[in-house]
Amino acid sequence: METIIRKDIHNSGIPAVCQSCEARHKGVCGALSPEQLQRLSKHTSKSVHEPNTDLSTEAATAGRYANILSGVVKLTKMSRDGRQQIVGLQFAPDFMGRPFAQNTDVEAVASTNVRLCSFPVSVLEELLEETPAMERRINQQTMAELDEARDWLFALGRKSAQEKVASFILLIATHADPERVVDQALVIELPLKRADIADFLGLTIETVSRQITNLRKAEVLEVIDRYRMRIPNLIVLRKAASAGNG
Amino acid sequence: METIIRKDIHNSGIPAVCQSCEARHKGVCGALSPEQLQRLSKHTSKSVHEPNTDLSTEAATAGRYANILSGVVKLTKMSRDGRQQIVGLQFAPDFMGRPFAQNTDVEAVASTNVRLCSFPVSVLEELLEETPAMERRINQQTMAELDEARDWLFALGRKSAQEKVASFILLIATHADPERVVDQALVIELPLKRADIADFLGLTIETVSRQITNLRKAEVLEVIDRYRMRIPNLIVLRKAASAGNG
DNA sequence: CGTTTTTTTGAGCAGGATCAAGCAGCGTGG
DNA sequence: CCACGCTGCTTGATCCTGCTCAAAAAAACG
C-alpha cells in the first residue's frame, strides 16, 4: 500500500500537499488533472482557525475560496434585535465560496478548530472556466446543501423539541466521521455547544439541555462529557428523530 | 416597438413559441443561441396543470424537465405520520429539474393553475454539455433557492407566528408580479390557501387565520377576499415581518 | 337550495419560553 | 493551594404563545 502511494507521488505528479487530501477524493479538487492540481497548489495556503473565528469576511477581504480540511463550520444568520439562527453546517471536504455569484448574507464561523486550504478567487475561476466537471462538483454540493436545508425546514416547522434534538445528534452521528465504534455502539463528539445547538434547532438552551436529559433517561444515548456521547443503538436514535429524515 | 419585435422574429431566428417567453429573458433559456433555441423548441411541449396536480412524478416518469411559464408550484415534504411542510415555492420562469443529479425527495405540486414548457431530459443535457452558461444559470437558480431556504430557516426557527405570516405575505408581495398598484397600495393574490400557508410556516390553519385577522386589525393589510389582499404600505408590512429578511 | 370545503372564532390546554437559582469546569491571581 | 470569577450546563417554577378541540360562518359546487 505504501509503495503504491509512493508510486503515485512520482508517476502521477500529484502535489505533495494534495496527496492525502480529502478534497481531492470527495471534494471539488477531484475534478482536476495532476497538471491543474500542480497549478492550483502553487497558490494554496493552509491555515488553522480557532473556534468562533469569522471565516467569511476573512475570506472575502482576502479574495479567497477554501476547502475545509477538518473541523466544522457553522453558517449563521442574525437579525438586528439579536435573534440568531444557524442555517447550515459544513464539514470536510466541503468547498467554501460562491464562484461567479454574489455572496449571501450568512456568516461562516468556525465551530471547532478548523483547518482550511485556501486559494485566490482568480485562480479557481480560471480553473473552473476550463474544467466544467469542477463546476459541476460545486453545483452538486450546492444541491446537497439545498436538500439539507429543506430537511431542516421540515424539522424546524414540524418536529417536537425532542425530535429536533434527536435529529441533530443523528446528523452528527452520520455526518461527522464515526469517532469510534465500541461494541456496535457509536461514540460521537458534538461540534457545537448547547447554545449553538439551540440556535440550530430554533430552541432555547434550557430546552436543549432538558431534551438531552430526556433522551438519556429514555436510554437513547449516554452522556460521556458535555461534548461527547455514546449511542448504543442508531436505530433507536433514528426512531427518536422520527418523521422526515426517515 | 412592434416593428422591432417583428424584426426579431425574422432576423434572429428565435422560435415563435419562445418569443415572449419569460424563461428566454430571465430563465435558463436566456443562455441559448437562436440556433439552440430552435433545436430545443422542436422537442418542447406546453401544458396546463390544475391546482394540486403532482408535477414531479409526472415529469420523472416522462423523463422531462420544464420551465414554469406561469403559476406557482409548491415543494412539499411529508412524513409517514402525515405531518407536512412546504419547503419552497417556485414561480415563473423557474426551471424544474435536476440535470446530472439524482432527484430529491420533495414533491412538486401545482398550487395554482400552472403552465409548463417541458422538454426531454436528453435534449436538455445535450445542450448543457455544449453551453456552460446554461448550466451556470441553473446553478444560480439553485443558489437562489438555497438562500431562500435559509431565509425560511430563520423564519421558522426564530420568528413569532405574526412575523411568519407577515413574512409570507411580504414574500408574495415581492415575488409574484405586482397584480396592481392603486394609490401606491399593492393588491396581491395569495397562491396558497390557508392550510398551505400553515404548512409553509410551520403553523396551524387556525393560527394563520388569527394572525391575518391581527394584521388586518393592525391595519397592515386589508382582506379583499380570501385569496386577495390590499397592502396600503409595504414598509409597514416589512416592519411587521421584521427580523431576518430586513 | 343542500352538501361539502374552507375559513373564522372561541375556550381550554400544553409545550416550550422565560426567569431564576445552583452547579461544574477552569484559568487567574493572591 | 485555594479563593475567585467566568463560562457553560442543568434543573426548577411560572408564564404565555400557539396548539387542540369544537362550533359556527362563509364560500364553492352540484
- B153-176 pLDDT, tens digit per residue, is 999 999 999 999 999 999 999 986
Give the DSSP letter of residue B221: -
The grid coordinates of residue B98 equal: 435536476
Query: Poorest-confidence range of A206-210, B19-23, B86-90?
Result: B19-23
Tell me if B86 sits within 8 A of B43, measured CB to CB: no
What separation in angstroms does the CA of A120 have from each of A35, A39, A92, A142, B127?
A: 18, 12, 19, 20, 31
Bridge partners for B70 per DSSP: B115
The three cell numbers locating residue B51: 391546482
Q: Scanning the structure block, which residue is given the C-alpha cell 386589508?
A: B222
Within 8 A by CB and 6+ apart from A94, the residues are A27, A67, A68, A73, A141
Q: Which residues of B touch A100 (CB under 8 A)?
A: 136, 140
Residue A139 exposure: Cα atoms within 13 Å on the Cβ side:
22
Range(s) of chain B covered by CATH 1.10.10.10: 159-241
> At which residue does the C-alpha cell 385569496 appear?
B227
The CATH code for residues B2-139 is 2.60.120.10
Indicate yes or no: strand D within 7 A of the C-beta of B156. no
What average pLDDT does range B214-239 have in this prediction?
A: 96
Chain A contact set for B151 (CB, 8 A)? 77
Helix (H) or strand (E) run with residue B242 in it: none
A206 in contact with nucleic chain C (CB within 7 A) = yes
Per-residue pLDDT tens digits for A1-26: 344 444 444 556 889 989 888 899 89
In this structure, what is the dihedral angle of CA atoms B178, B183, B184, B188, given to the nearest 10 degrees?
-30
| Residue A80 burial (10 A CB sphere; 0-12, 13-18, 19+) | exposed
pLDDT value for A3: 40
Q: Do A157 and B154 touch (CB under 8 A)?
A: no
Smallest CA–CA distance, residue A183 to chain B, in Å, is 31
Query: Cell digits for A33?
Result: 488533472
A158 torsion bin: left (phi>0), alpha (psi -120 to 50), beta (else): alpha
Reply yes or no on whether the pLDDT at B8 is more than 80.
no
State which nucleotides on strand C lie below 7 Å from a protein beta carbon: 6-11, 15-20
Confidence of residue B179 (pLDDT cuts 50, 70, 90): low
> What residues does A223 pair with on adjacent strands?
A229
Looking at the complex, report in whole angstroms how far the Cα of residue B180 sits from the nearest Cα belonging to chain A: 31
Are B150 and A100 in contact (CB < 8 Å)? Answer: no
Q: What is the pLDDT of residues B29-56, one digit of tens each?
A: 999 999 999 999 999 999 999 999 999 9
Per DSSP, what are the bridge partners of residue A119?
Answer: A65
Strands A72-78 and A84-91, by their bridges, are: antiparallel
Q: Which pTM does this prediction carry?
A: 0.92
pLDDT tens per residue across all 246 residues of chain A: 344 444 444 556 889 989 888 899 899 999 999 999 999 999 999 999 999 999 999 898 999 999 999 999 999 999 999 999 999 999 999 999 999 888 889 999 999 999 999 999 999 999 999 999 999 999 999 999 999 999 999 999 999 999 999 999 999 999 866 656 666 789 999 999 999 999 999 999 999 999 999 999 999 999 999 999 999 999 999 999 985 444
Q: To the nearest whole number, what is the mean pLDDT of chain B?
A: 91
Q: Is the CB of A208 under 7 A from strand D?
A: yes
Q: Which residues of A touch B107 (CB under 8 A)?
A: none
Among A77, A105, A146, the residue with its CB nearest the CB of B146 is A146
Residues of A in contact with B130 (CB under 8 A): none
Residue B146 has pLDDT above 50, yes or no: yes
**Which residues in chain B have Cβ-Cβ distances shorter than 8 Å to A136?**
100, 135
pLDDT digits (tens, 9 = 90+) for A162-207: 999 999 999 999 986 665 666 678 999 999 999 999 999 999 999 9
Question: What pLDDT is recorded for position B6?
Answer: 44
pLDDT, position A13: 82
> Mean pLDDT throughout B76-83?
95
Q: Which residues contact A198 (CB under 8 A, 6 or more apart)?
A: A204, A205, A207, A208
If you measure CA to C1', which residue is closest to nucleotide C24?
A226
B13, three cell numbers: 431566428
CA/C1' separation A10–D24 (Å) = 82
Residues of chain A with CATH 2.60.120.10: 2-147
Beta bridge partners of B76: B86, B107
CATH architecture of the domain A2-147 equals Sandwich (2.60)
**pLDDT per residue as tens digits for the range B181-190:** 666 789 999 9
Q: Is the dihedral of CA B208, B213, B216, B220 positive or negative?
A: negative
Residue entry with cell 461527547: A228
Query: In chain B, whose CA is at the least distance from the CA of A159?
Result: B83
d(CA B194, CA B204): 9
Residue B139 one-letter amino acid: N
3-state secondary structure of A49: strand
Taking one residue from A and the other from B, the number of pairs with CB-CB distance under 8 angstroms is 124
What element of type H or E holds A45? strand A45-49
Cβ contacts of residue B129 below 8 Å, gap of 6+?
Answer: none
- Look at residue A147 in the predicted model and tell me its pLDDT: 97
| Chain A residues near any Cβ of chain B (below 8 Å) | 75, 77, 79-81, 83-85, 87-88, 98, 100-101, 104-106, 132, 135-136, 138-140, 142-143, 145-147, 149-154, 156-158, 199, 201-202, 242-244
Is domain A159-241 given the CATH code 1.10.3720.10 in the classification?
no
